Amino acid sequence: MTGFVSFVGSGPGDPELLTLKAVDRLKRADAVLFDDLSSGPILEFARDGADLIGVGKRAGRPSPRQHHVSRLLVDYAKEGGRIVRLKSGDSGLFGRLEEELVALKEAGIEYEIIPGVPSAIAAAAVCGIPLTRRMTARRVQFVTGHDASGQLPDDVDLSALADPRACTVVFMGKRTFPALLEELTARGLPQDTPAILAESVGTPEQAVTRATVSELAKQLIGEVGKKPALILYGPLAEL
């Protein structure tokens, strides 16, 4: 008899942003496999005696390979019981969800997906702004700032990312943003486009920097720090 896996989106880090369903699954789980950004106070909702296994991957740090994480998830599920795979933000947004779903399907293990507050939405809320604006920002686009090798992806639609009428959110892009901006300005994005760097959203280390894309790129050429971050740019509201 195999177990059942709940993929739980934990939101950006603030335990108060967990959904009721997420808390319920954590309280009933026999094992929780969690990402780095889903640790801390969020794990306090796990029941006493549950196995807590860290499987997080962070850029620039030693991290378990994805196939090892998927294999571990399958192994725990085969032992039976309720398993929670805890991912930051919403697990369907740059959360390597697909690889783990494929592994479970191949092993014949049932699962559910519980959405979480996406970090991009939480970042906008922290900044007190909407991601869409009537007449000036009718489109929102999410993009990853690096590929599997840590470099700027070479298969993204740069013309779309340079659209000054769209609000763009770059995940995991601190190291590659200066290179990205070179490509975007070459395609017409104004260098005075408003930008926001939102770091460690939903945690005590939360920090928000408002600048232009040009100013932000210059800042990130130097030390980018270790805080997880989102970069937002486009017709952002100045409220």
Catalytic residue at 135? no
CATH class as words, domain 119-233 = alpha beta
Task: At 133, list the tokens.
Answer: 């604006």
> Measured between alpha carbons, how far is 239 from 58 in angstroms, rounded to an integer?
33
* Residue 239: per-residue pLDDT: 54
Each residue of 184-210: pLDDT tens digit?
Answer: 999 999 999 999 999 999 999 999 999
Catalytic pick among 87, 90, 163, 172: 172
Classify domain 4-114 at the CATH superfamily level.
Tetrapyrrole methylase, N-terminal domain (3.40.1010.10)
Cβ within 8 Å of residue 35, ≥6 positions away: 54, 55, 56, 57, 86, 87, 88
Condensed to tens digits (0 to 9), the pLDDT of residues 9-37 reads 999 999 999 999 999 999 999 999 999 88
Residue 157 catalytic?
A: no
The two structure tokens encoding residue 189: 């994005």
Q: Please classify residue 196 by burial: count the beta carbons closer than 10 Å to its beta carbon, then call 0-12 exposed, 13-18 middle and 19+ buried.
A: buried
Catalytic residue among 57, 78, 226, 227: 57
Domain residue extents for the chain: 4-114, 119-233
Q: Give yes or no: 35 in active site.
A: yes
Q: Which is catalytic among the residues 14, 35, 90, 163?
A: 35
